[in-house]
Structure formats: C-alpha cells, structure tokens
C-alpha cells in the first residue's frame, strides 16, 4: 500500500485494493494508540443516513487514543464494484482483509471489531472465525433479511409519499416481486432475488446472538447494545429528518469507550473477565 491523502495529521483517506474492486477507507489515527478498532458500518442506504454520527464516533475514539478504520463495502458508497454482482461472502471478505491490514500495522496492539446494524453480522462472523480481540455490536439484526426489510419499508414509504391510497402497493407486493425472481431498486442499489434469498440465511452467529451466549462461546470480550430511536440517525437513520442530525450522542459514546478500554485492559491482562 502506498501513502494515502493526508486530510489532517490524524485522518487519511484512500482506496484499498480487494479482488475486482477498491474499498474506500478512512483511517482515524492516534499518536500513541492503545488499541485499534475496525468500524464495520451499516449497509446500502442506511450507510448514507447514519454517516455523520458514525464519523463523529470515529473521531471521538481517535481523539482518545483508539485508532479507527472505517470503510465502504464493495459496490457501496465511495467504494468501487458493481453492487448487484456481489454477495455477503464478498462483504465478509472486505472485513477480513481490512482487519488483517489493521492488525499488521502493530501486531502487539489489541484489535477490536465494532459492527453497526448489518455491519454487526459481518463483524460477528469475522470475530467468530478468530479475527479480533474483542467485539462490540450496536443493534445487529438477527439476520440480514431483517435489515433488508427495514430498508425496504422505508423505500416503500417514499413510494407512498408520492402516491395516493388507491395507487399504493403493499410491502408484501414488493417482497413477492423479489421472491418471484425480479430485482428491485432500493435507493439506487439493485437488490436481486439472489441477494434477497441469501439474506434470509445470513445470520448473526448463534454464539453471539445474545451477550450471555457470547461470554460462553468466546474467551474474549463481547458486548451487544440495542440502540433505540434516541440513537437516531445511527439507527433508524433514513426515517429521520434534519432535526436529529446534530443529536448529542456523547452519553452513548462515553459508555462504549469505557467498555472498549475495559476490553483492552482485559486483553492486556490476558485473562477472562465477565462481560458487561
């Protein structure tokens, strides 16, 4: 990898090469980091709506000595690749390749994975395969289809906003089209029937499905936080308007930074501690 554009001393943006595409990445550096976190963010249109608080979270962590890397999945956002040709395996590979790169920067530092919504499933699957020294999840869905349905509902709501009652089609009609082999444009992303069907089987690993199970299954710190509407637009992003975009999330940030610090300390001690 060559040098990246230096936006300010601590932030670097650039493209990371993966098979058949380039991932857009932003590294939020810290002078003497105590840990590194790979931020595995939301998917397709949710990515756009939660972008501002996600960037703020990365900056918050970096300013407190936690180096972060955030990125766009293949075919999404600023990354290249043709979305409709990709699968969950490709997006999981994105996480694995970036985690390996981040770990190589300083192998002695603990590496944590932090997933938000769909990113939670991808981060959890990577963690399950042995990547990372800790796992933080914010509102991961039980499976990818749950996240898809949320985005689909919002797409349908937009359709309905421009139509009167008689012209409106129910959500089930859209789902039927996907199940019958049609593809569907959702906020500029072409969902294929293949992707829809795969999403039903792409699940949060059973051992991480709830926090207690995570403690039993993994000898490493795991935390899962269910975010509600007060965390919008981090979650429920596309259903919110201008009024929440500047929301103060410092309480959420502080609480989770504390957990990250405790996970780092636990890693350093090399011992198991109960999860929070």
Partner 1 sequence: MNPTIETREVISVTVGGNCLWGTYHRSHFARRSSSASSGEANRVGILFLNPGFLPRASPSAVYWANSFAKCGYPAFRFDLPGLGDSEGDLPDKMLDFVSAGGYASSLSAIIKQLVERFSLSGVVIMGLCAGAVTALFTAAVTKECSGVVLMDPYFNVPPDRLKIQNELSQWATWTRLGALASEIYHRFRHVGLLLTGNKLPRNANFPLLHCWKQLTSAGTPILVLKAPAVKSQGLKPRTGVFDYLAYLQASSGRRSRVAVHFLEGTNHSFADHEGCRAVRHHTVRWLKDCFPPVTSRKIAVLKKPALEQAETGLNSYAPADQLALHRH
Q: How far is the CB of 194 from partner 1 (least distance, A)?
A: 18
Alpha carbons 5 and 95: distance in angstroms, whole number: 22
Q: What's the number of CA atoms in the CB half-sphere (13 Å) around residue 15?
A: 13
Under rule CB under 8 A, residue 22 binds partner 1: yes
Q: What are phi and psi of 79, to 5 degrees?
A: -75, 155
Q: How far is the CB of 161 from partner 1 (least distance, A)?
A: 7
Under rule CB under 8 A, residue 172 binds partner 1: no
Among 100, 153, 159, 226, binds partner 1 (CB under 8 A): 159
Alpha carbons 218 and 119: distance in angstroms, whole number: 19
Among 72, 94, 117, 128, binds partner 1 (CB under 8 A): 72
Q: How far is the CB of 106 from partner 1 (least distance, A)?
A: 16
Under rule CB under 8 A, residue 209 binds partner 1: no
Strand partners, 8: 11
Alpha carbons 140 and 203: distance in angstroms, whole number: 10
Alpha carbons 254 and 99: distance in angstroms, whole number: 24
Q: What are phi and psi of 206, to 5 degrees?
A: -55, -40
Under rule CB under 8 A, residue 17 binds partner 1: yes
Under rule CB under 8 A, residue 14 binds partner 1: yes
Residues that bind partner 1 (CB under 8 A): 1-2, 4-5, 7-8, 11-17, 22, 24-27, 48-49, 51-52, 55, 72, 75, 77-78, 80-83, 158-165, 185, 187-189, 242, 245-246
């Amino acid at each position: 990898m060559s040098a990246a554009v230096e936006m300010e001393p601590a932030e670097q943006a650039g493209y990371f090469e993966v098979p058949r595409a380039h991932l857009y990445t932003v590294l939020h550096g810290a002078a003497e980091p105590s840990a590194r976190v790979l931020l595995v963010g939301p998917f397709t249109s949710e990515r756009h709506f939660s972008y501002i608080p996600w960037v703020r979270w990365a900056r918050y962590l970096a300013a407190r000595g936690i180096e972060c890397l955030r990125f766009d999945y293949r075919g999404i956002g600023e990354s290249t690749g043709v979305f409709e040709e990709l699968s969950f395996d490709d997006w999981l590979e994105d996480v694995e390749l970036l985690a390996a790169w981040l770990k190589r920067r300083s192998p002695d530092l603990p590496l944590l994975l932090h997933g938000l919504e769909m990113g939670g499933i991808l981060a959890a699957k990577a963690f399950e395969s042995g990547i990372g020294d800790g796992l933080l999840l914010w509102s991961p869905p039980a499976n990818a289809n749950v996240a898809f349905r949320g985005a689909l509902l919002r797409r349908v709501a937009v359709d309905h906003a421009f139509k009167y009652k008689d012209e409106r089609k129910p959500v089930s009609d859209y789902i039927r089209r996907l199940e019958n082999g049609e593809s569907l444009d959702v906020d500029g992303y072409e969902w294929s029937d293949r992707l829809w069907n795969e999403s039903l089987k792409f699940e949060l690993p059973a051992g991480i499905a709830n926090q207690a199970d995570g403690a039993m299954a993994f000898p490493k710190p795991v935390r899962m936080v269910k975010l509600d509407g007060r965390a919008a637009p981090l979650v429920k992003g596309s259903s919110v308007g201008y009024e929440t975009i500047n929301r103060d999330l410092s309480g959420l940030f502080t609480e989770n930074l504390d957990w990250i610090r405790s996970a780092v300390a636990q890693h350093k001690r090399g011992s198991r501690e109960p999860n929070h």
